[in-house]
Amino acid sequence: MHSGNCIIIHPWPIVQIGLTNILQSLKVDVAAYYLTTPENEIIQTWNDLFVLIDSKEIEMIQKQYKSFKRRNIDIIGIHFEDSHIDDGLPMDEILYPSDTQGMMFSKLKPFSNFGKHKQPSLHLSDREIEVLKLVATGFSNKQISEKLFISIHTVISHRKHITIKLGVKSISGLTFYAILNDLIE
């Protein structure tokens, strides 16, 4: 059984480290790292996660694709060569060497905890979402109260509820959450 959201299969430790940094910012726990495809007995224990895999492992991807889909596993290819990969290869996403960190972040977001639980309206009220948007774009409590026609104490109360519900206390963390959930650009 795995204890994480992701498996990374790539022979270059620098790629593993770089991807891990991006994944951590997306609240993804890496369950395991492999330099090459692990034994089939190990693969069969994986469920409900995503696999970042070196695109050179084409044979493994083709063999395991249907099995992965049955077990709710997404496959993201890591293709760090100059040419683009064959579009016919069964993968849910592909990371390329020309991808910036922001592009990789965007490609990985749908597979992350943020991507899968991106409905802030399920947790925050409409007013809390309004306040969050304004906080994330740099408005002060006073400016928010004036803009929304509510008292400053009500703004402070909304901010307190937002931080409790999201488990995020800093303004930069709230801004990051708002960006990840497409509340602001």
Number of structural domains in the chain: 2
- Kind and range of the H or E run holding 74: strand 74-78
Mark whether 22 and 104 lie in a shared domain.
yes
CB 95 within 8 A of CB 78: yes
Among residues 116, 147, 162, the one where a domain terminates is 116
Mark whether 86 and 128 lie in a shared domain.
no
In a domain, 76, yes or no: yes
In a domain, 37, yes or no: yes
Mark whether 93 and 176 lie in a shared domain.
no
The model's pLDDT over 1-13, given as tens digits with 9 standing for 90+, comes to 345 689 999 999 9
Mark whether 31 and 112 lie in a shared domain.
yes
Neighbours of 173 (CB within 10 A): 14
**Number of alpha carbons in the 13 Å side-chain half-sphere of residue 91:** 25
CB 149 within 8 A of CB 134: no
Could you list the pLDDT tens digit for every one of the 185 residues in the chain?
A: 345 689 999 999 988 888 888 888 888 889 899 999 898 888 888 888 899 898 888 788 888 888 888 888 899 988 877 666 666 678 888 888 888 877 888 888 888 765 554 444 447 888 999 999 999 999 999 999 999 999 999 999 999 998 888 877 788 888 888 887 788 87
The model's pLDDT over 110-143, given as tens digits with 9 standing for 90+, comes to 887 655 544 444 478 889 999 999 999 999 999 9
Which tokens belong to 84? 């683009």
**Number of alpha carbons in the 13 Å side-chain half-sphere of residue 39:** 2
Mark whether 107 and 129 lie in a shared domain.
no
Residues with Cβ within 8 Å of 43's Cβ and at least 6 positions away in sequence, in order, are: 37, 64, 67
In a domain, 1, yes or no: no
How big is the chain by its Cα radius of gyration, in Å?
Answer: 20
pLDDT in the model for residue 147: 95
pTM recorded for the entire structure? 0.59
- Write phi, then psi, for 86 (nearest 5 degrees): -60, 125
Alpha helix stretches (DSSP H) within the chain: 13-25, 40-43, 58-70, 101-108, 113-116, 126-136, 141-148, 152-166, 171-180
Among residues 60, 84, 116, the one where a domain terminates is 116
Domain span at residue 111? 6-116
In a domain, 58, yes or no: yes
Q: What does the buried/exposed string (b/e) look like for 15-38 if buried means 16 or more CB atoms within 10 Å of the residue's CB?
A: bbeebbebbebbebebbbbbeebe
Mark whether 66 and 142 lie in a shared domain.
no
Mark whether 15 and 91 lie in a shared domain.
yes
In a domain, 185, yes or no: no
Mark whether 11 and 65 lie in a shared domain.
yes
Mark whether 26 and 88 lie in a shared domain.
yes
pLDDT in the model for residue 142: 96
Mark whether 138 and 101 lie in a shared domain.
no
Among residues 87, 116, 145, the one where a domain terminates is 116
